[in-house]
């Protein structure tokens, strides 16, 4: 049975996870690291995927409302509660979905584990906007990518906003880091991809690029699609090491798409063979 705890003291240490800890501090928690998920649907996806919950925070009205089923699934974990205004003062933002949950971080799988049997993987180089990372994760899950790999400089997919924008698909599509230190990418990471049999395609504007629907790309048995951050895009050293460079044809003088939109176009085109 859930332990319902009415919030009366903002300074209570058990509320630190919701009120005072930064993303970096959450990752470094002595319990092995924590992350925050927002909304009944997203929290449900995390539970479905086997993530272990630490606590819940929600508006009082949701205890017997939309979160009742969620609370029943979570056993005796503490459920911290108050009215919406109090919760906004505590967290510093409006709980538009009314419910937050703190989860323990699982140990990341290895690159070999994530890529075993994979034919199409996305590699995110230096994406530092959690909204974009969440949107790319959602496209990867929806459009048939087998896994997502993140370079060392890419932001955390379990950052609260990334999880929310992904609509919980970050818990459904396999992902891991491709290297832990900045120097591990691109040389070391590219070497590992080739050793696993992946051809590599850089999504970039280049004179020697092929269009995204070029048959040579679809024919590749194993393909890693590499996408760069907003603004600078992929590093020149990364592009130079790839087997292909591909572009999405544009009209009306538009030269590029947001990385999240570009990822959806690329994933749909390059996964069609896999999904037939």
Tell me how far apart the alpha carbons of residues 227 and 129 are, in angstroms, rounded to a whole number.
13
Of 127-131, 176-180, 241-245, 251-255, the least confident:
251-255
Cβ neighbours of 3 (radius 10 Å)? 12
In this model, does residue 276 exceed pLDDT 70? no
**Beta-sheet pairing, 99-104 with 53-59:** antiparallel
CB 252 within 8 A of CB 228: no
In this model, does residue 98 exceed pLDDT 80? yes
Q: What is the pLDDT of residue 35?
A: 95
Q: What percent of the chain has pLDDT over 70?
A: 98
Cβ neighbours of 9 (radius 10 Å)? 8
Tell me how far apart the alpha carbons of residues 41 and 205 are, in angstroms, rounded to a whole number.
38
Q: What is the pLDDT of residue 38?
A: 93
Token readout for 273 is 């063979």
Does residue 6 sit in helix, strand or coil? Answer: strand
Token readout for 197 is 């049999």
Tell me how far apart the alpha carbons of residues 35 and 164 are, in angstroms, rounded to a whole number.
12
Tens digits of per-residue pLDDT, 104-121? 999 999 999 999 999 999
Average pLDDT over residues 140-158: 96
In this model, does residue 272 exceed pLDDT 80? no
CB 136 within 8 A of CB 259: yes
Confidence of residue 27 (pLDDT cuts 50, 70, 90): confident
Confidence of residue 1 (pLDDT cuts 50, 70, 90): low
124 or 230, higher pLDDT:
124
CB 150 within 8 A of CB 178: yes
Q: What is the pLDDT of residue 176?
A: 97
Tell me how far apart the alpha carbons of residues 260 and 262 are, in angstroms, rounded to a whole number.
5
Confidence of residue 221 (pLDDT cuts 50, 70, 90): very high
In this model, does residue 144 exceed pLDDT 90? yes
Q: What percent of the chain has pLDDT over 90?
A: 72
Average pLDDT of the chain, as a whole number: 91
Q: What is the pLDDT of residue 89?
A: 87
- Tell me the angle at which helices 259-270 and 130-143 cross, rounded to the nearest 10 degrees: 20
Q: What is the dihedral of CA 73, 75, 78, 83, to 10 degrees?
A: 40
Tens digits of per-residue pLDDT, 126-139? 999 999 999 999 99
Average pLDDT over residues 84-98: 83
Q: What is the pLDDT of residue 28?
A: 84
Q: What is the pLDDT of residue 239?
A: 94
Sign of CA dihedral 113, 235, 183, 30: negative
Token readout for 190 is 């590219």
**pTM for this prediction:** 0.91
DSSP collapsed to 3 states, 163-230: HHHCCCHHHCCCEEECCCCHHHCCHHHHHHHHHCCCEEEEECCCCCCEECCCHHHHHCCCEEEEEEEC
Q: What is the pLDDT of residue 49?
A: 96
Q: Please return the burial class of 33, using the count of CB atoms within 10 Å of its CB with bins 0-12, 13-18 and 19+.
A: middle
In this model, does residue 229 exceed pLDDT 90? no
């Amino acid at each position: 049975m859930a332990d319902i705890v009415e919030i009366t003291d903002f300074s209570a240490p058990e509320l630190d996870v919701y009120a005072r800890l930064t993303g970096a501090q959450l990752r470094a928690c002595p319990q092995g690291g924590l992350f925050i998920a927002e909304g009944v649907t997203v929290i449900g996806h995390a539970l479905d995927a086997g993530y272990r919950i630490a606590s819940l925070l929600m508006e009082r009205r949701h205890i017997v409302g939309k979160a009742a089923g969620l609370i029943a699934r979570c056993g005796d974990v503490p459920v911290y509660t108050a009215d919406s205004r109090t919760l906004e003062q505590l967290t510093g933002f409006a709980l538009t979905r009314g419910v937050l949950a703190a989860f323990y971080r699982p140990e990341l799988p290895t690159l070999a584990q994530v890529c075993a049997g994979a034919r199409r993987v996305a590699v995110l180089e230096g994406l530092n906007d959690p909204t974009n990372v969440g949107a790319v994760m959602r496209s990867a899950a929806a459009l048939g990518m087998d896994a997502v790999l993140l370079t060392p400089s890419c932001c955390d997919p379990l950052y609260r906003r990334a999880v929310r924008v992904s609509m919980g698909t970050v818990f459904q599509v396999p992902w891991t880091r491709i290297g832990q230190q900045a120097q591990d990418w691109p040389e070391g990471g590219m070497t590992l991809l080739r050793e696993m049999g992946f051809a590599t395609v850089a999504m970039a504007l280049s004179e020697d690029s092929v269009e995204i629907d070029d048959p040579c790309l679809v024919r590749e048995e194993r393909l890693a699609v590499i996408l760069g951050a907003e603004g600078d895009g992929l590093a020149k050293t990364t592009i130079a090491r790839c087997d292909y460079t591909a572009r999405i044809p544009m009209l009306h003088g538009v030269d590029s798409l947001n990385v999240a939109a570009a990822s959806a176009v690329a994933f749909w085109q390059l996964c069609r063979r896999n999904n037939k």
